[in-house]
Amino acid sequence: FEPPGPGRAPPAALPLGPLRLGQLVLGAAFWVTVAAHKYEGAAHFALFAAVLVWLLTLALLGLSLLGRWALVPVLGARWLLTNLLHDLVLGTGLYAAAAGIMGHKAKRYSYCNVPGYSQPCLHRAYLSAAVCGGIAAGLYLLSGLWCLARRCRGHRDIV
């Protein structure tokens, strides 16, 4: 670690841990909301994508907290790059797609969101999932940009 000199900016102050926790909470809210209600068609992909990214995020957080990323073959030596690709490609891409799918489904079920409609309605569940997925995609984008900024400054790890 080099202290910032006269022409150097101090290191970024945004910790990755709170972003990961937010991603895990919103990701769990997304897939629990979808899984707890009737779903069909493209919602299967949205649920698969959300659970996949959620599990990978949990693994990244666990390895990062324990400081054991060096034990991961091939990826451990490139941990910052691994986090960067996970956040920008998998996290942002898959959650944005999943949020779009659920938003489209919420729009399809908007007819039942009127007063006096007595049948079961999936509009609120799909809308809630779309909002959680959109915010999660934003958190993944933010953490991916943070990792990218660290990489551009010449750092090789997330600490």
Q: Which residue has the higher pLDDT, 156 or 100?
A: 100
Q: 24 with 58: CB under 8 angstroms? A: yes
Instruction: Dump pLDDT digits (tens) for 106-147.
Output: 998 888 777 777 777 888 899 999 999 999 999 999 999 999
Q: 43 with 100: CB under 8 angstroms? A: no
The span from the CA of 141 to the CA of 58, in Å, is 17
Inside any domain, residue 1: no
Cα angle 92, 25, 39; round to 5: 75
Whole-model pTM: value is 0.85
Inside any domain, residue 8: no
Task: Look up the domain containing 95 and give its range.
Answer: 16-64+72-111+120-153
Lowest mean pLDDT among 52-56, 95-99, 123-127, 133-137: 123-127
Q: What count of other Cβ atoms lies within 10 Å of the Cβ of residue 49? A: 22
Q: State the total domains in the chain.
A: 1
Inside any domain, residue 89: yes
Q: 139 with 19: CB under 8 angstroms? A: yes
Paired tokens of 47: 């649920």
